């Protein structure tokens, strides 16, 4: 009997790749409540802040992985000089953009003050 050894090999590869995607999608939707990167200033639940949000550093921490290190584009479009009004910008950050990879960011991830600082950084 002549069996093809490539079939079991391909089956294992496809199952392995599928498992990787399944596990990575779980990590992408995890809200991160049990991580140390959650920020100690927001543990009160009322978005406590010093009033000095740095738009550039907040953007580098949250936006540069998709929009490029210099925000000129990457997986996502360029952010500087797009001419998007503030209301649309806030809506897109809070709700994500349907049909794209743009995720939604909750207030526990990015405060309203930080969104304002990011918007000012990109429009200056």
Per-residue pLDDT, 46: 42
Q: Which residue has the tokens 């920020």?
A: 39
Quote the DSSP letter at residue 5. Answer: T
Quote the DSSP letter at residue 46. Answer: S
What digits encode the pLDDT tens for the residues 68-98? 888 888 888 888 877 889 999 999 999 999 9
Average pLDDT, the chain: 80
Specify the range with the lowest mean pLDDT, choosing from 11-20, 35-44, 58-67, 84-93. Answer: 35-44
CATH topology assigned to domain 53-124? Cytochrome Bc1 Complex; Chain D, domain 2 (1.10.760)
**Domain ranges in the chain?**
53-124
Per-residue pLDDT, 87: 94
End-to-end CA distance of the chain: 73
Nearest Cα to Cα of residue 29 among 114, 109, 113? 109
């Amino acid at each position: 009997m002549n069996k093809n050894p490539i079939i079991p090999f391909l089956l294992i590869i496809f199952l392995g790749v599928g498992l990787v995607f399944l596990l990575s999608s779980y990590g992408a939707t995890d809200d991160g409540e049990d991580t140390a990167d959650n920020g100690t200033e927001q543990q009160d639940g009322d978005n406590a802040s010093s009033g000095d949000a740095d738009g550039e550093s907040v953007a580098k921490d949250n936006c540069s992985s998709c929009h490029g290190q210099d925000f000129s584009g990457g997986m996502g479009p360029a952010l500087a000089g797009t001419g998007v009004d503030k209301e649309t910008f806030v809506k897109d950050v809070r709700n994500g953009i349907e049909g794209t990879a743009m995720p939604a960011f909750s207030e526990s991830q990015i405060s309203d003050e930080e969104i304002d600082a990011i918007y000012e950084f990109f429009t200056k």
